[in-house]
Amino acid sequence: MYTNAVYYPNWRVYRNQPPSSLNFGMISHVFYAFARIDDDGSICLSDSWADDEMEVDGVKGCLRSFAALKKIPSNTHVKVILSVGGGGAGSDKFPLMAQDPTTRTRFADSARAMVDKYELDGIDIDWEHPSDAIQGTNFLSLLQCLRAALPAPRYLLTSALPAGEWALQYIPLAPAAQLLDLINLMAYDFFGPWSPIAGHQAALYAPTPDTPCANTAIEYLVKCGVPCSKILLGIPVYGRSFLGAQAAGQAYAGSAGDEGTFEFRDLPRNDAVEQVDLQLGAAWCVGTNEAGGWISYDVPETVRVKAAYAKERGLAGLFYWTVTGDSVAERSLVMAGYRELHSVE
């Protein structure tokens, strides 16, 4: 049975997307994003109102909603995992916490307490990302503490990792993989506003040898001793904008949208024309600057290509950041991945 996992960001409950809005028939795991690290090294909720207090689906808080929803007979296959960290400030406290045995233990103990309190299935570490060999060693020590506090198979321990040797090189990947149940490979954001040229932000294969892509990252993990059976291939449920460009490899004048992105549900925009390259496993649309310019993203066709690749390589499956940006019916990326992984027409 392949994993078809999604990240659910807690802030989307404020946009009328409560946990009950998810299609659990297509989902095996939900990573609840995000918890944070308190000043003393313990885990704390990032939004206690959304997570624990507001009325959601007839209970108090999104976490209890997920706990209740997965008890419904049709949903008992779903695992809900609390993700700690995230991009930017969400990961700032990892280095200090992970370097000290006392705070590592406090973090692990609080993780167990949090998981048990909300009837969850485990913890996901989204440290973005260990930036040198010392932090990589501390990352491994943190996983060891967590595994002791969250023994398998009762509890799941996972981690989101960047899809680039520039970051992965600092992590002891083989011993980390022995402790982890799943590695969520963030195989997206290969290009963005930080890039000198426009490019496919989540291509499966590279158009040129020096272009980053998901396959190269998978090959690196495997070379470093990570079992394919523990790798989830990440799918972005958003597109990255490059104003003024007409194709990958071109110069561009800036980015449009929220932080240079548009949710997949809103693509293509206005008069933009969508195109797909099944050989690369990449899609894009081209429109006016008002439409976002040249936008790189995934579509159901490319997700099916990636799901077929996951099956061929013996990967654990796919995950999506984030489920709340998905479209509906035949346009749904999550549905496309599920159907291909499980050979459903």
Locate tokens 């972005």: which residue?
Answer: 236
The CA R_g of the chain, rounded to the nearest whole Å, is 19
Residue 237 CA to residue 299 CA, distance in Å, equals 9
Q: Which of 119, 128, 219, 274 is catalytic?
A: 128
Copy the structure tokens of residue 65: 């909603």
Angle at 19 between CA 326 and CA 329, to 5 degrees: 30
Copy the structure tokens of residue 154: 């009762």
Count of other CB atoms within 10 angstroms of residue 8: 24
Nearest by Cα to 305 from 222, 215, 219, 229: 215
Residue 310 CA to residue 2 CA, distance in Å, equals 9
Residue 222 CA to residue 52 CA, distance in Å, equals 39
Residue type, 241: S
User: Is 128 annotated as catalytic?
Assistant: yes
Catalytic positions, written as ranges: 128
